[in-house]
Structure 1
Amino acid sequence: MGQRLEASTTSAKTMLFDTESGVLAVRSRRFEVDGPDSAVRDGDAIYTQMMALGRESAAGRAIDLIVLSGTWHGLTLRRADLSPVTPVMEWPYTGAQDLCARLRADQEFMWWFYERTGCMVNAIYPVFKLLHLAEGGHDLDGLLALDQSSLNFARLTGEVWTNPSLASGTGLLNAHTADWDAEVIARLGLEGVRLPELRSATDTAPLAPDAAVLLGLRPGIPVLTPGPDGGLSQVGDLATEPGDMTFSMGTSGALRFSTLHPSLSPTLSTWSYRSPVGALSGAATSGCGNCVDWAKERLFGSSTDYAEIEPLLSADKRSLPVFMPFLFGERSPGWQDQRRGGLLELQPQHSRADMYQAVLEGIVYSLYHCYKELTALNGTPRRIVLSGGVLSSPYWTQLTSDVFGAQMEVSSRQHSSVVGAVRMGLRSAGLDERHPALDDAAPRIVAPRLERREQYDEGFARYLDHYSRTLPGAGEGAR
């Protein structure tokens, strides 16, 4: 039996999988985070909470393999004994936004960095978080740079390892060689920073005795190098062949296109990372489900359930406000981490339901903007697999298909990154990654309503107009 442990953006998750019986058991628990900013977290507290949930789920079970997953783009500085120098700055942390704005003014540097790493000059990336810390007076020499998942692996095994898939989201990995990029490191003056050893996505290290005590398991159990949830979703949904696209609409939004080789945009609008099994061409937004949560809380209050709002939504509504979903800055396609969001074209007759619906539309238009950049680069995907919190809203799911004008497979896997981690565990054990318990349900298909094409084309044009007029530094429209 295998156990999968994840430290996601908001929750600890665990999954048990029995290869013989096919039994799946998934549990999750929201992290308790001190302080008002959940983008900056105590990495050791996150590890402890993840391990506590893992111990509960594995109680009385014989575990033969542990697999790990988490998020891209986190950074914590650690001493050699793994004691903390900084908390974990997760992907929403934007402390380096002013530094990145200055660097983006240098077109030569921006192109050079993008073509080497597949990453844009943006505050989300650990490389710029490191520069921000150095600029603030931190001495980085001799310190170890990790993300939460690599920290978890190090504490579980005593080995300071990561793999190219997780490392591809740092801005320090060469997109073409899948090795740490010595030229980038040298140009940015980061030679003194220690980076984890790069190992294969199927490599394992034995569970250390102290971690075994925390989990209530025997020491020596193989622990798989950690993977990023985005890359593992590609594996979980069996979307690893060129032309396969996964489309995740959770806390953030992401479109990931499997490609044969790294794919770089001539407009600098997309990124090139790696899944555990190959290259990914993608685009991601910082504002998705987090914007929906914000809107529900502000407009309806915490006591209102999302299901109560659903009947108030209608595709027949016209002249809604326009929502710019940049409450947490912008990633793709413009990479303006200083961009701000909000509702525009508000009129006295607009109800709170109208504003909430505008939020859903604005998020989808932003992701459609990303989609158009991706398809201009890679062509039309042969299939699109939709997953995430969007599926809990029939209105929002249909709206997404309508705006994209594309047929979408609804992922039958509630936790596709969890399933991806299980598949990688099966691979590392030399087993077939396909299993009846993981692949027994035929996908549901959502088809676009062609009669809505003109309506949403007009809505997208309105969105693009406000997008161009709210570019940071664009004059009156930027304020």
Structure 2
Amino acid sequence: MKILALEASTTSAKTMVFDADTGEMSVRNRRFEVEGPDTAVREGDSIYAQLMALGRESAAGHQIDLIVLSGTWHGLTLRRADLSSVSPVMEWPYTGAQDLCAKLRQDDELTWWFYERTGCMVNAIYPVFKLQYLREQGIDPDGLIAMDQSTLNFARMTGEIWSNPALASGTGMLRADGTGWDTEVLERFGLGGVRLPELHETTDTAPLTAEAATLLGLPVGIPVLTPGPDGGLNQVGDLAIEPGDMTFSMGTSGALRVATRHPSFSPTLSTWSYRSPLGALSGAATSGCGNCVDWARDRLFGASTDYAEIEPLLSADRVDTPVFMPFLFGERSPGWQDQRRGGFLDLTPQHSRVDMYQSVLEGIVYSLFHCYKELTALGGVPRRIILSGGVLSSPFWTQLVADVFGVEMQVSTQQHTSIVGAVRMGLLATTGSLKHPAFDDTEVRTITPRLERRAQYDAGFARYLDRYTRTVPGSEGARA
């Protein structure tokens, strides 16, 4: 059996062809071409076409038996019944609804009510608020279909407008227990007239249409699995599916997710409760991670500079760096202040561009450690942590993560964790098992914290936390 996996990530189209009989796999990756200055707003049909084009190249010469899909949480596009576009896809980094959400968060009762019903916070990333924002902009969503890029891809490939609880849990419109769309939320926010995808199981399939088959160069009728969210599929890809298993991905954004037996809600509103394709998740995510590193590299060294050229310049003995607030793209966890802004604090004329670059790495890690402390306060210390993402390409940054967190971490054995998770879901749907020797018969590497650095990074985090508290939007410290 051969599985074709197609993923529309935040920045790229990704594919994998996996042969379940031989264990052979091939992966391709191509950055999306996006028109306009704001890459968080994309033409969904263009993204679909680019994904299909890469899929066709990948599938050439293979007899594909199953297609599986992966994509991001939190995107929104409005579509007519024939799937023609009314609005572009507003992906998770889009913050057009930030002022609307800031006003809503002033109502504590509403904020808590929404959080406990959906597991989501009042924040501009969620489609439920993007829909309200579009109405404010003069686009009436009533009678239109609200979907994300992955649901659009599935609909274009199969003719079925389906989602599943894992993907829908990132919309702010699904009940936290995953049992269905929350009609009370929709009515309270004036969205009762919006059409939503039909919810199906994460292992349900629909047949490939003739039009999509032509685009992929494949036969009509190949089963297509309902799409999964890349964050939830990370959990599946690393087999972090037992309660207490935490995945820690540091890519474009950063996220910590821990498998739980049931939805969990933080008394400080600092964490979210979504679903993986296999059950409940508690998590915390930041909008600023690899995107901040890219920004720092481009501004401080130039876009043509290879990260490998910067790596030898970094040193754990450099202790007088500025404090970096990694909120260039707003804040998600733990404070959910989408109006936050990023930048350097305590910057002096003596600081070099290397000092500034290293402080960006440190600020990102401190922000994620802040999230970790909120998660462990809610559910306890995880039984294991699996680290993945672009962070692993930098030995300095990887060790910094372990040192700041002060815990041993396993390095993910999967190079493309979310797309492996999609393939595993395909295996589950067809064979009843998530496991395969090609993914699982590998040696696990661990990163051990250096205890001699404990005091140094405790002091660094305390300094970060002080500056974080002083720069809450609207506070006296932020205005000073």
TM-score range, shorter chain: over 0.9
SS at match of 2:439: coil
Partner deviation per Cα, 1:156-210 (whole Å, 9 max, x = no partner): 0000000000000000000024310011111111011000000000000000010
Counterpart check, 1:181 vs 2:182: yes
Query: Partner residue of 2:141?
Result: 140
Distance 1:418 1:398 in 2: 26
Counterpart check, 1:396 vs 2:394: no
Query: Partner residue of 1:94?
Result: 95
Tell whether the 8 Å contact from 1:264 to 1:272 is kept in structure 2 after alignment.
yes
Counterpart check, 1:305 vs 2:320: no
Query: Partner residue of 2:116?
Result: 115
Tell whether the 8 Å contact from 2:178 to 2:275 is kept in structure 1 after alignment.
no
Query: Partner residue of 1:48?
Result: 49
SS at match of 2:440: coil
State the Cα distance separating 1:477 from its structure 2 match: 2.4
Query: Partner residue of 1:319?
Result: 320
Distance 2:140 2:398 in 1: 48
Provide structure 1 residue ranges, at least 5 long, that are not aligned to the other structure. Answer: none
One-letter identity of the residue aligned with 2:387: L
Query: Partner residue of 1:375?
Result: 376
Tell whether the 8 Å contact from 1:119 to 1:171 is kept in structure 2 after alignment.
yes
Partner deviation per Cα, 1:53-104 (whole Å, 9 max, x = no partner): 0000101110000000000000000000000000000000000000000000
* Corresponding residue pairs, total: 479
Distance 1:478 1:342 in 2: 14
4+ residue runs over 3 A deviation = none
Distance 2:389 2:178 in 1: 32
Query: Partner residue of 2:411?
Result: 410
Query: Partner residue of 2:296?
Result: 295
State the Cα distance separating 1:260 from its structure 2 match: 0.3
Distance 2:254 2:229 in 1: 15
One-letter identity of the residue aligned with 1:407: E
Tell whether the 8 Å contact from 1:234 to 1:420 is kept in structure 2 after alignment.
yes
Distance 1:250 1:476 in 2: 31
Query: Partner residue of 1:31?
Result: 32
Provide structure 2 residue ranges, at least 5 long, that are not aligned to the other structure. Answer: none
Counterpart check, 1:213 vs 2:219: no
Question: Identity across aligned pairs (percent)?
Answer: 75
SS at match of 2:220: coil
One-letter identity of the residue aligned with 1:116: R
Tell whether the 8 Å contact from 2:135 to 2:141 is kept in structure 1 after alignment.
yes
State the Cα distance separating 1:139 from its structure 2 match: 1.2
RMSD of aligned C-alpha atoms?
A: 0.7
Distance 2:363 2:337 in 1: 17
Counterpart check, 1:454 vs 2:479: no
Distance 2:250 2:172 in 1: 24
Distance 1:306 1:337 in 2: 29
Instruction: Tell me the TM-score normalized by structure 2.
Output: 0.99
Query: Partner residue of 1:469?
Result: 470
One-letter identity of the residue aligned with 1:272: S
1:177–1:213 CA distance, 2 compared to 1 (3 A): closer
Distance 1:280 1:85 in 2: 33
Query: Partner residue of 1:106?
Result: 107
Tell whether the 8 Å contact from 1:248 to 1:388 is kept in structure 2 after alignment.
yes
State the Cα distance separating 1:476 from its structure 2 match: 4.5
Distance 1:477 1:377 in 2: 28
Partner deviation per Cα, 1:265-311 (whole Å, 9 max, x = no partner): 00000000000000000000000000000000000001110000000
Instruction: Tell me the TM-score normalized by structure 1.
Output: 0.99
Counterpart check, 1:271 vs 2:266: no
Distance 1:6 1:411 in 2: 19
Query: Partner residue of 1:262?
Result: 263
Tell whether the 8 Å contact from 1:469 to 1:478 is kept in structure 2 after alignment.
no
State the Cα distance separating 1:319 from its structure 2 match: 1.5
One-letter identity of the residue aligned with 1:143: L
